[in-house]
Amino acid sequence: MRDVRISELYVRTAPVIHRRALALLGNVDEAQDATQDVFVILLQKIDSFRGDSSIFTWLYRVTTNHCLNVIRSRKRRHRALEHLSAETARPRDRGRAGAALERRDLIRVLLSHFDTRKVQVVTHYYYDDMSQAEIGALLGISERAVRKTLSKVKHKMVALGASMDPLREVP
């Protein structure tokens, strides 16, 4: 019975999970792997799902966290970003592909300078265009905490010489 429900859940949610993974990872193969990984995580951790939110919201959050971890691992493996450089802050003139690359670079920079919670807040706010209230509800924190987190990250990014603008551009 449980397997039937999970297979139905897969059919209903896998396309959305895949789109989310693709948006964060920017690679079709990695997005497909991440989608499968999310459902493996579901099978392993279904008993820890408390029902505080919908199963879809929980899967979306698992997907975001998993993809951020993939990006973090990719960064560690390649050591592509040792520190924030002026290149990150300088706009690139490569059209939509360049803008997508710039967003991924900025997310990597965020991952190298901030903890997971701050990166989640920033990603949901700038990349997903969620309201502070929506982010708070999704992450289980207050709207005030979301506001403070965004402010802290913005101030540090300015101090580092980077802009959050690439995250607001349409992919």
pLDDT for the residue 169: 46
Mean pLDDT confidence for 149-169: 71
Lowest mean pLDDT among 30-34, 125-129, 144-148: 125-129
Domain count, the chain: 2
Residues 5 and 41 placed together within one structural domain of the fold: yes
25 vs 66: CA distance, rounded Å: 10
Residues 57 and 88 placed together within one structural domain of the fold: no
Domain assignment of residue 29, given as a range: 1-80
Residues 139 and 72 placed together within one structural domain of the fold: no
| Token reading at 140 | 């289980």
Q: Which amino acid is at 144?
A: R
Residues 19 and 8 placed together within one structural domain of the fold: yes
Q: Where does a domain end: 28, 50, 80?
A: 80
Query: What's the DSSP call for residue 52?
Result: S
159 vs 127: CA distance, rounded Å: 21
Q: Where does a domain end: 49, 80, 111?
A: 80
| Token reading at 121 | 């807040």
Residue with tokens 């710039």: 102
Residues 93 and 128 placed together within one structural domain of the fold: yes
Mean confidence (pLDDT) of the chain? 76
Q: Where does a domain end: 47, 80, 113?
A: 80
pLDDT for the residue 39: 92
pLDDT-derived band at 48, boundaries 50, 70, 90:
confident
Q: Which amino acid is at 137?
A: A
User: 58: closest CA among 16, 108, 8, 105?
Assistant: 16
Whether 87 shows a pLDDT value over 70: the answer reads no
Whether 4 shows a pLDDT value over 60: the answer reads no
Residues 140 and 69 placed together within one structural domain of the fold: no
Annotate 77-92 with b (16+ C-beta within 10 A) or e (fewer). eeeebeebeeebbeee
Q: Which amino acid is at 93?
A: D
pLDDT for the residue 50: 77
Residues 87 and 64 placed together within one structural domain of the fold: no
pLDDT for the residue 79: 47
CATH code for the domain of 105: 1.10.10.10
Residues 62 and 89 placed together within one structural domain of the fold: no
pLDDT for the residue 2: 52
Residues 149 and 139 placed together within one structural domain of the fold: yes
Per-residue pLDDT reduced to its tens digit, 94-140: 455 455 556 666 767 777 778 888 888 888 887 777 888 888 888 88
Other CB atoms within 10 Å distance of the CB of residue 53:
15
User: 74: closest CA among 20, 114, 118, 24?
Assistant: 24
16 vs 31: CA distance, rounded Å: 11
Residues 157 and 92 placed together within one structural domain of the fold: yes
Q: E-assigned strands of 18-111?
A: none
Residues 142 and 114 placed together within one structural domain of the fold: yes
